[in-house]
Amino acid sequence: MANAMLIPVILSFLILPFSAMALTQDFCVADLPRGDTPAGYSCKAHVSADDFYYNGLAVAGNTNNLFKATFTPASVNQFPGVNGLGISAARVDIGVGGVVPPHTHPAATELIFVTEGTIVAAFISSDSNTVYTKTLNKGDIMVFPQGLLHYQYNIGASPAVLLVAFSGPNPGLQFIAFAVFGNNLPSDVVKKPTFLNDAQVKNFKMMLGGTA
């Protein structure tokens, strides 16, 4: 009986430091002009309701590009009110036949909610390279664990729209294709790990904004 009574007491002491830290202040709106630091953004001195409001996801993104898709973020740099709150958002528009190529968010788990259209979405595990793929329709959701490669493509006859939630205020974004080809690495270097020939590498570099 005594041991059973000790359990909630021990748990309360374990939780107390985290609760105390969480309650030191209600929020910390990012002071963007002062810049980011390894410890994050400093807090803005004077805030208003506008700091906790953002309408940048209301307008459809331009899908007139190579991938027929666009990513519109509502992370801390666009929406300073999410600073320190462990959350952010985004909108993804995918035109007919469009694709969001393989990419990662190093600093957050991602949850997508399909508001329009039909897509295929998938992520790839890091330990076994297993692909977990699903066809998603309007109203469906899917989660992509933090840091794992994932992608989406539109298989429907109309544009698709996704609303996205992240488990961090600045999830980061790295597209694999741009990381490999959209840079100034010499073609001779890039073709070694990709097993592509010189002409193929230079073609991809030209498409993705890299230099030969």
Cα 136 to the center of its chain, rounded Å = 18
Helix and strand numbers (H, E) in the chain are 4, 10
Q: 30 has which bridge partners? A: 43
What one-letter code names the amino acid at 124? I
Specify the pLDDT at position 38: 83
**Facing residues of 198 across strands?**
none
| Per-residue b or e along 105-141, where b marks 16 or more CB atoms closer than 10 Å to that residue's CB | bebbbbebebebbbbebbbbeeeeeeeeeeebeeeee
In the numeric block, the tokens 């810049």 are attached to 35
DSSP 55-77: -TTSSPPP--STTSEEEEEESTT
Q: Which residues of the chain have pLDDT under 70?
A: 1-24
Return the pLDDT at 11: 47
Rg (CA), the chain: 21
49-171 topology per CATH:
Jelly Rolls (2.60.120)
| Each residue's pLDDT tens digit, 144-178 | 999 999 999 999 999 999 999 999 999 999 999 99
Q: Which residues contact 32 (CB under 8 A, 6 or more apart)?
A: 41, 77, 80
End-to-end Cα distance, the chain: 73
Q: Which two tokens stand for residue 101?
A: 């190529």
The burial class, CB within 10 Å (0-12 / 13-18 / 19+), for 166 is buried
Q: Which helix (H) or strand (E) holds 3?
A: helix 2-22
Report domain extents, the chain: 49-171, 179-208
* Closest to 164 measured CA to CA, from 103, 107, 97, 110: 110
Q: Is the pTM of this model over 0.85?
A: no
d(CA 78, CA 170): 10
